[in-house]
Amino acid sequence: MNCASASAFLLFLSLSAPILAGESGLNSLPEVDFARLSQGDLNPLGAKALAIHPEQWKHAETEHFIYHFVHSYVATPISVEAEFHYRVVAKELEREQPAGDTKSHIYIFERPEAWQQFQALGQLEPWTGGIHSAGSLFIKRDPSYKFAGNLLGHEIAHLVLHRFYSEGIPCWLHEGFAQYVSKGARASYQRARGYNARPRSHAVAAQDVIPLSALVAALHPLPECVETFYDQSERLVRFLVATDKRSFLALLDALRRHQHFEAAFLHAYGTKFLSTAALETQFREYASKDSSPPDASEG
């Protein structure tokens, strides 16, 4: 085990201790009375969530998040993963916690009927299994089912990205970065525990690659090719980070200030690409490669 893996393993053990103890009722996420929470949630969806069976909700908070839940044994592992991903994302973005930072709220629904009520109150699509909205996360969590893959990490990444950049990040970058960083974090988890894991970056068939102009202009995942939109967005973020991490962070900062993509890209990557057309040519080849690229976090 190398030094990086050893450090990740120690972090995993320290953050996982509450889970291991929580299974026997010790050191689980401590409850906090609602009136004593350090911060309220200004998101109107939060009030709608808490209005569903209000007598059942319990509350807690950690360094960066506030949780609303029914059972602590469900909320505890989520809190561990939330804090782990906060650190992973902050490190990837090379950002420090903002002064006077506002904590993100996470609402955890356990019963399908309660989630269905929330869907109706919030006017959500019937198929929605979770939603990130204005810095708050609302998720359905069956106590008998563990989150698979990087699903929870993806949603937590959205929260953390929102913490640092508010609402300015375009859709492709929000989704692509959340996929990129959560895949890398999950692979680090597994490697630290002795598995030979690599981030799974899915290639996009050459004929299915979305034109760059359409991808960067989309306000929502394109309904006619949702899976491709997510895969290609993640692939583009991975490509840009691998090309030059400092340039990627400069591009991210420019885009969150609503700069046009072409101008922001040429300012950040102008010494490496003569135009966005040159980017598209190189990226189309990269996007359709079957081999998974190296984990940028190891570079």
**DSSP string of 50-64?**
HTSSGGG-EEEE-SS
Is 31 in the same domain as 155? yes
C-beta separation of 49 from 118 below 8 A = yes
Instruction: State the Cα angle at 125 between 42 and 207, rounded to 5°.
Output: 115
Q: Which residues contact 5 (CB under 8 A, 6 or more apart)?
A: 188, 191, 192
Q: Does 156 score more than 50 pLDDT?
A: yes
Is 180 in the same domain as 138? no
Pairing mode, if any, of strands 136-140 and 130-133?
antiparallel
pLDDT at 194: 63
Give me the mean pLDDT over the 17-38 stretch. Answer: 69
Q: Which residue has the tokens 């291991």?
A: 20
Is 176 in the same domain as 236? yes
Question: Based on the structure, what is the number of domains in the chain?
Answer: 2
Is 192 in the same domain as 131? no
Q: Does 248 score more than 80 pLDDT?
A: yes
Domain limit, last residue, from 114, 148, 165: 165
pLDDT at 172: 96
Which residue segment(s) compose the domain that 56 sits in?
Answer: 3-165
- Residues, the chain, total? 299
Q: Output the domain CATH number for residue 94.
A: 3.40.30.160
Give me the mean pLDDT over the 253-265 stretch. Answer: 93
User: If you count DSSP H runs as helices and E runs as strands, how many of each does the chain have, helices first?
Assistant: 11, 5
Tokens of 209: 């690659």
What phi and psi, each to the nearest 5 degrees, are found at residue 88? -65, -45
Is 150 in the same domain as 218? no
pLDDT at 1: 38
Give me the mean pLDDT over the 22-33 stretch. Answer: 70
pLDDT at 259: 92
Q: Does 299 score more than 50 pLDDT?
A: no
Q: Which residue has the tokens 């809190």?
A: 79
Domain limit, last residue, from 132, 165, 198: 165
pLDDT at 23: 42
Q: Which residue has the tokens 């885009």?
A: 255
Is 44 in the same domain as 187? no
Is 119 in the same domain as 141? yes
Is 207 in the same domain as 60? no
Is 230 in the same domain as 112? no
- Characterise 218 by phi-psi region: left (phi > 0), alpha (psi -120 to 50), beta (else): beta
Is 146 in the same domain as 222? no
Domain limit, last residue, from 134, 165, 196: 165
Is 187 in the same domain as 261? yes
Give me the mean pLDDT over the 203-227 stretch. Answer: 92
The 3-state DSSP composition of the chain as helix, strand, coil percent (nearest 5) reads 55, 10, 35
- Characterise 98 by phi-psi region: left (phi > 0), alpha (psi -120 to 50), beta (else): beta
Q: Which residues contact 152 (CB under 8 A, 6 or more apart)?
A: 78, 81, 139
Q: Largest Cα–Cα distance in the chain?
A: 60
Could you report the per-residue pLDDT of 77-136, keeping only the tens digit for each? 899 888 988 888 889 999 877 666 789 999 999 998 999 999 888 777 766 777 888 889
Q: Does 26 score more than 80 pLDDT?
A: no
State the pTM of this model. 0.80
Could you report the per-residue pLDDT of 176-188, keeping only the tens digit for each? 999 999 887 776 6
Closest alpha carbon to 67 in 26, 110, 24: 110
- Other CB atoms within a 10 A radius of the CB of residue 22 amount to 21
Confidence of residue 10 (pLDDT cuts 50, 70, 90): very low
Confidence of residue 166 (pLDDT cuts 50, 70, 90): confident
